[in-house]
């Protein structure tokens, strides 16, 4: 049995970020699904490990760790394999800057205000709140513009090899691309569009798809 468990959900953006880091490092782990979105709220036993009730939470033997940025850095620094943090401090600073942009200005508008309103709410028979979508889009334009500027001429967001910034960004952009607004907006940023295609082809992305095998992630 694996001594490494990730408590989370397959459909969760932050769970996928941590899973992609585990996959990139070829770590043998088990995903244990914890339904924090149940009507009754996160299970009591999960709150004992993460009192904030967010996912994911990494379990490595007796060591429990929540907060995705801490988890991915721990994975990179604990397990052998290719380094996922640039060795040059200015590049590493860019990586941390991008992760902050994603956490602070990207996740909520991209995932909750656009993806959930456009895809999840209608699929459950509800009506999307168009005001949320409309308010999010200008901010997301700003995000994509800054990400492309920061990427500069590199293949990946912080250099010519993949880093934790790429793993943090991909799941958010992946959901965004499933919306008409997201796939249209991305076309204005060819560097990012190319990056997205590269990321999508990585084994770590393929192994962690949000969707079940009957659905694909190729259609953006």
Contacts with ligand GSH, residue ranges (CB under 6 A) = 12-14, 36, 53-55, 67-69
From the CB of 76, what's the least distance to ligand GSH, in Å? 15
- What is the rounded CA–CA span in Å between residue 54 and residue 66? 8
3-class DSSP state for residue 153? Answer: coil
Q: Which residue number places its CB atom closest to ligand GSH?
A: 54
Question: CB-wise, 51 or 190, nearer to ligand GSH?
Answer: 51
From the CB of 13, what's the least distance to ligand GSH, in Å? 4
Sheet holding 63-66, edge to edge: 30-33, 4-8, 57-60, 63-66
Question: CB-wise, 112 or 154, nearer to ligand GSH?
Answer: 112
Please name the residue ranges forming H helices in 79-163. Answer: 89-101, 107, 121-123, 130-151
Q: Which residues pair with 6 in a beta bridge?
A: 31, 58
Question: CB-wise, 13 or 189, nearer to ligand GSH?
Answer: 13
Question: CB-wise, 19 or 25, nearer to ligand GSH?
Answer: 19
How distant is the alpha carbon of residue 195 from its chain centre? Answer: 15
């Amino acid at each position: 049995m694996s001594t490494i468990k990730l408590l989370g959900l397959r459909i969760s953006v932050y769970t996928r970020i941590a899973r992609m880091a585990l996959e990139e490092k070829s770590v043998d782990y088990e995903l244990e699904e914890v339904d924090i979105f149940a009507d009754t709220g996160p299970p009591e036993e999960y709150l004992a490990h993460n009192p904030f009730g967010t996912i994911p939470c990494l379990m490595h033997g007796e060591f429990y760790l929540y907060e995705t940025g801490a988890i991915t850095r721990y994975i990179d620094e604990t397990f052998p394999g290719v380094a996922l943090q640039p060795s040059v401090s200015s590049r590493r600073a860019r990586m941390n800057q991008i992760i902050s942009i994603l956490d602070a200005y990207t996740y909520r508008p991209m995932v909750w205000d656009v993806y959930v309103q456009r895809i999840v709410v209608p699929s459950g028979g509800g009506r999307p709140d168009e005001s949320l979508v409309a308010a999010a889009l200008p901010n997301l334009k700003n995000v994509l513009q800054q990400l492309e500027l920061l990427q500069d001429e590199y293949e990946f967001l912080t250099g010519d090899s993949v880093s934790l910034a790429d793993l943090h960004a991909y799941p958010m952009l992946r959901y965004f691309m499933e919306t008409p607004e997201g796939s249209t907006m991305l076309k204005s940023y060819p560097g990012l569009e190319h990056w997205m295609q590269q990321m999508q082809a990585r084994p770590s992305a393929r192994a962690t798809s949000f969707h079940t095998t009957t659905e694909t992630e190729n259609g953006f």
